[in-house]
Structure 1
Amino acid sequence: MTQPATLETVTQDIIDLVLAETDGAAVTLTAASGLQDAGMDSARVLSLVFRIEARYDIELDAEDGDDLSTVGDLARLVLRRIQERT
């Protein structure tokens, strides 16, 4: 059985996905890091969104992006969508 998602696990998953999108760029990311800190351009952010949606079986709306400035903001949104789904 899969463990329930927590903010910490979702944050780490997103960090791992960001690093995969940036070919493991030598950066240290935390919940307070901005996506641009990892060199994410708009195409990579879009790819990241698709990966997150597929991984968690959720949908992120275009409007959701307005309030996202850090990895932690994205993790909180993903966790909220997961909880809304159940």
Structure 2
Amino acid sequence: MTAAGGPPTTLATVTQEIIGLIESESGSAAGNLTAESGLQDAGMDSAQVLSLVFRIEARYDIDLDAQDDDDLHTIGELAHLVLRRIRERS
């Protein structure tokens, strides 16, 4: 399984890429963020979160639904959702 023509996608890879996207979006230090970190821990405002969602969708060629955010509290949960959407697309 690959993401948009890239290398094989694993949960660990997706998690690290999301942390990198969060870091670039919010200026947070990735060393402080883990899969268990809450999405709010990065100090992102709503515009930054929306931008993050668009970047994730573009990076992985997936769609994230508005109702998905009800179950997303941590970076790890977001990574699981992204991986599930990648598998659904394949």
TM (normalized to structure 2)?
A: 0.89
Asked if 1:52 is matched to 2:56, the reply is yes
The separation in 2 between residues aligned to 1:29 and 1:49, in whole angstroms, is 17
Computed over aligned residues only, the root mean square deviation of the Cα atoms, in angstroms, reads 1.2
Whether 1:64 aligns to 2:68 is yes
Tell me how far 1:41 sits from its aligned partner: 1.4
Q: Aligned AA for 1:66?
A: D
Unaligned runs of 5+ in 2: none
Residue 26 of structure 1 and its aligned partner are, at CA, apart by 3.7
CA–CA separation in structure 2 for the residues paired with 1:42 and 1:11: 20
> How far did 1:4 drift?
1.6
Aligned partners of 2:70 and 2:33: how far apart in 1?
21
Normalized against structure 1, the TM-score is what?
0.93
| 1:20 lines up with 2:19 in the alignment | no
Moved over 4 A (4+): none
Residue 9 (structure 1) aligns with: 13
* CA distance in structure 1 between the partners assigned to 2:69 and 2:50 by the alignment: 11
Work out the CA distance in 2 between the residues paired with 1:10 and 1:26: 17
Alignment partners' CA distance in 1, 2:7 and 2:43: 31
Q: d(CA) in 1 for partners of 2:10 and 2:21? A: 16
Aligned residue pairs, count: 85
